[in-house]
Structure 1
Amino acid sequence: MNTFPIVHLTLQKLKERQSEKNFLRVQVDQGNELNTICKFNEPAEESEFSLFTKETNLVLPPDYIDFLKLHNGGILYSLDDDLGGGIELFSIEEIIENYEDYRDDLLESFYPIGIENGEELLLINSAECDPLCRNKNYLYWSDVLDLEDPINLNSNFEIWLDRLVMAQGNKFWYWNIYTAETYYKTHKGV
């Protein structure tokens, strides 16, 4: 059965909900709302995929390639151009640059594909990728100061992106740490 990649469907609906100026109103915790911006780069060139492999000897998974063929990076759920925030997804060129910058601190076969607020990285573990298979969990999240202990997101890129959009830009992978006992200690004023 031939399925349409989830990344296409997720991005199509996300873009339909955006205003003409790329604004997207989202609900965040405790009933608050924010205007966010999602912007996407032009598609990656075929030559960039070859360059990535040549420069890094790492694997790009098929669902992530689908995204790059649509958009060679972008910004998800930024507060605005001045305030920043949100998750920046790197272009292939930026992936190579950041891989070189963080290489000595990364676990073997890991490379960054995105960053949030300059503090946390979205990582792919190339050793867990299969270029012919979509059903591999290869995605990780890590504080830039603790790259030796990344959080396994138990996901591939397209499922992560789909869930991020459903969660309206919130880091859903942290939700399990907030129980009734811990939530009120960490969320003052509730």
Structure 2
Amino acid sequence: MKKPGDRVKQTIYSLKKRFDDGNIIQMQTEEGYLYNATCTFNPPATDAEIAHFEQETEFILPKDYKEFLKITNGCSLFDDVEYGGEIDLYSLEEILKRNQGYDEYEGCYDIAYIYQDNIVIHSTCISQNEGNYLFWKGHIDQFDEARPLESNFELWVDRFVVCQGAKFWWWPIYTSANEDKLKGKGL
């Protein structure tokens, strides 16, 4: 039986292996766009740093997310070598910085920024033993506007890596009938 965090360990270790020693890998995104990408991984967080963060913030960190932090305390994924990127999974320090000054919505905090979307952990879901505690919202939206991803962190990060950084949570809204119209509106 798998333990919480086993999938995140396998996913992140495999991704790190692909990008060892500054490797650059050609990626393909939607509509056939190709680019050369790299990933940058921060040093891991210690158990003491994670415990201190939880005490200081009173945020509840789920077990699978703690395992991620023990591998890399934040990272930048699938950055275009030529143009940069906007896929940042925050370090503990960045979570503190990014979540200061919010009109807090009970137990929610941003853990990532992905091309104008934020990935949000909802602590109340964790404290109520709900497995689907991950949400997403536009980066200027309030927490009460966040929409469920129907996922925990390790399922989300596994899918995100398999999709090579594509915002797969947007895919259901695009159909062959409305894709051009939605993209014209910037969605």
Instruction: Output the TM-score relative to the length of structure 1.
Output: 0.86
**Residue 183 (structure 1) aligned with residue 179 (structure 2):** yes
Q: Percent identity?
A: 37
The Cα shift of 1:32 comes to 1.9
Q: What is the aligned partner in structure 2 of residue 88 from structure 1?
A: 88
Q: 1:100 corresponds to which residue?
A: 100
* One-letter code aligned to 2:96: I
Where does structure 1 lack aligned partners over 5 or more consecutive residues? Answer: none
Using the alignment, how far apart are the partners of 1:23 and 1:97 within structure 2? 30
Is the aligned partner of 1:162 residue 2:162? no
In structure 1, distance between residues paired with 2:39 and 2:29: 16
Distance 1:145 1:2 in 2: 37
What's 2:110 paired with? 112
Q: CA deviation at 1:22?
A: 3.5
Q: SS at 1:159's partner residue?
A: helix
What's 2:138 paired with? 143
Is the Cα–Cα contact under 8 Å of residues 130 and 136 in structure 1 kept in the other structure? Answer: no
Kept after mapping to 1: 8 A contact 2:119/2:135 = yes
**Cα contact 1:39–1:74 (8 A) shared by 2:** yes
Q: CA deviation at 1:13?
A: 2.2
- Residue 181 of structure 1: how far off its partner (Å): 0.3
Question: 1:58–1:11: structure 2 CA closer, same or farther, 3 Å change rule?
Answer: same
Task: Give the 5 Å matches for 1:66-85.
Answer: 66-80=67-81, 83-85=83-85
Task: Give, in angstroms, the shift of residue 130 of structure 1.
Answer: 4.7
* Residues 1:126 and 2:141 are matched in the alignment: no
Corresponding residue of 2:23: 22
For 2:175, the aligned partner's letter is T
Residue aligning to 1:38? 39
Unaligned runs of 5+ in 2: none
Name the CA shift for 1:99/1:186 in 2 (closer, same or farther; >3 Å): closer
Instruction: State the Cα distance separating 1:71 from its structure 2 match.
Output: 0.6
Q: Which amino acid aligns with 1:136?
A: G
* Contact 1:86 1:169 (8 Å CA) reproduced: no
State whether residues 25 and 37 of structure 2, in contact with CA within 8 Å, keep that contact through their aligned partners in structure 1. Answer: yes
RMSD: 2.2
